[in-house]
Amino acid sequence: MSRLRVAIAQFNAHVGDLAGNAARILELAVHARAAGADVLLTPELALSGYPPEDLLMRPDFYRACAAQLDALARAAVLPIVIGYPEESSGKRYNAASLLVDGRVATIYRKHRLPNYEVFDEERYFEAGREPCVFELKGVRCGLAICADVWESGAAESAALAAFVSSLIAQGVWNLAVSAVAPLAKLVADLTVQTTFFPVFNLGVLFLFTRSLYRVLASEVVLWN
């Protein structure tokens, strides 16, 4: 059985400090490699800090994020999963990518954009539609961001994609186990879930994550 050693970068990203956040991630990557990790996971929008708010209205901010992301990929000493704001073809996304071998290897765009309580992501971002799976050391990893776990929609689209392209089925709270588990077992061994979630709601987040584990029938790594 393949084994993947995962390190989680639990750090305080400063909003707008792209260079400073990237430097901190690289520092943590060095520590992770020294500890024997195979991959470093960073929080939602770790590169920009969360929430970037009206910085996300500035085109130059996305260009700066892209440049910093490329520089981080070239400097990384081990694979890194990183969250960041992305602009593509005139649309803007809450994205996460795997950085490996000096490049941005995958891009996942958040499906479900919360727009309640402390969140206003619909103001800034378009919703992604494609699932994402990548392989490290023989372990297939599915990537999800925050609300993709507990709001319906992402799981159904990913489950459909799994039939035709062997991609990961994303899990949600109200999706029948019988519909998702067989698909997920075929396409992913590990689900990695990056999030930014208010501390006062962490108990709810753990409940959703436990449900995700049961639905997907795969291991789950959650970090905030």
- Structure token pair of residue 190: 């590990």
Mean pLDDT of the chain: 76
Q: Which of 44, 65, 86, 141 is catalytic?
A: 44
Q: Is the Cα torsion angle 181, 6, 86, 11 positive or negative in sign?
A: positive
Q: What is the pTM of this model?
A: 0.76
* pLDDT for residue 6 is more than 80: yes
35 neighbors 7 (Cβ within 8 angstroms): yes
φ/ψ (deg, to 5) at 135: -120, 130
Local confidence band at 39 (pLDDT 50, 70, 90 cut-offs): very high
The pLDDT of residue 134 is 81
* pLDDT for residue 153 is more than 70: no
The pLDDT of residue 151 is 63
The pLDDT of residue 76 is 96
**What residues does 134 pair with on adjacent strands?**
141
Mean pLDDT of 106-112: 91
Mean pLDDT of 41-47: 92
Cα–Cα dist 1/129, whole Å: 31
Residue type, 40: L
Enumerate domains of the chain plus CATH numbers: 6-223 (3.60.110.10)
* pLDDT for residue 146 is more than 70: yes
Q: Which of 65, 132, 141, 146 is catalytic?
A: 146
Which secondary structure element, helix H or strand E, spans residue 145, and what is its range?
strand 139-145
The pLDDT of residue 217 is 46
3 neighbors 137 (Cβ within 8 angstroms): yes
26 burial type by CB count under 10 A (0-12 exposed, 13-18 middle, 19+ buried): middle
Does the annotation mark 44 as catalytic?
yes
Q: Which of 110, 121, 132, 141 is catalytic?
A: 110
Cα–Cα dist 32/39, whole Å: 8
Residue type, 85: P
Mean pLDDT of 8-15: 91
Does the annotation mark 110 as catalytic?
yes
Mean pLDDT of 88-110: 95
Look at phi and psi of residue 75 and say left if phi exceeds 0, alpha if psi is from -120 to 50, else beta. Answer: alpha
Give the other-Cβ count within 10 Å of 102's Cβ. Answer: 11
* Closest of 39, 46, 137, 128 to residue 91, by C-alpha: 128
pLDDT in tens, 158-215: 444 443 333 333 333 333 333 334 334 334 444 454 544 444 444 555 555 555 555 5
Mean pLDDT of 61-67: 98
